[in-house]
Homo-oligomer: A and B are copies of this chain.
Amino acid sequence: MRIGELARRTGVRVETIRWYEKSGLLEKPARNAGNYRDYDAAALARLSFIKRGRDLGFSLEQITELMALTRNARADCERVDAIARQHLAEVERKIVDLSSLRRELSGLVNSCTGGAIGECDILQALAPEGPPSRSEG
C-alpha cells in the first residue's frame, strides 16, 4: 500500500510517517515504479505499535527500545516492565504538578471580580511589587 493508505489505516499523518522513517523508527520501504513508498503488512503492524505507544505517552526512544525487545521473545520481560513503570511514575508526577498548578490558578481566577486592570488580583499575583514595566511613560 502507499503512504496515504497507511496513514488512513493507522491514524498517523503522512508527514509523520516520513519523519519516522527519516529518524530510523521505520525501515525504508520498497519503492514502486513511480518512486512512491510501498508498504507491506509488517510495516502496518510496526507503525500501529508506534502509534499505540505514542498514544500511551511513551517517547520515541522508549518505543524504539520496546520494539527491539520484542525480537527475542524468550528473554525476560523485566526491562519492558521497567520502562512501563518508569513512564507511569512520570505520568503520576505530572498529574501531581498540574494539580497544584490548578489549585493556584483557580484561586487566581476566582479572586478576580471584574473591574479595572490596575485592581485585578490576577495581575497583582503575577507582579512582584510595583508594576513590571514603568521605564518611561
Contact = CB atoms under 8 A, between A and B. Distances in A.
Number of copies: 2
B102 A88 contact: yes
A2 interface: no
A131 interface: yes
Q: Is the interface of A mostly helix, strand, loop or mixed?
A: helix
A80 interface: yes
Given A77-B122, A91-B101, A105-B56, A70 B132 contact: yes
A131 B42 CA distance: 8
Interface of A: 27, 40, 42, 44-46, 48-49, 52-53, 56-57, 66-67, 69-78, 80-81, 84-85, 87-88, 91-92, 94-95, 98-99, 101-102, 104-106, 108-109, 112, 114-120, 122-123, 125-135, 137
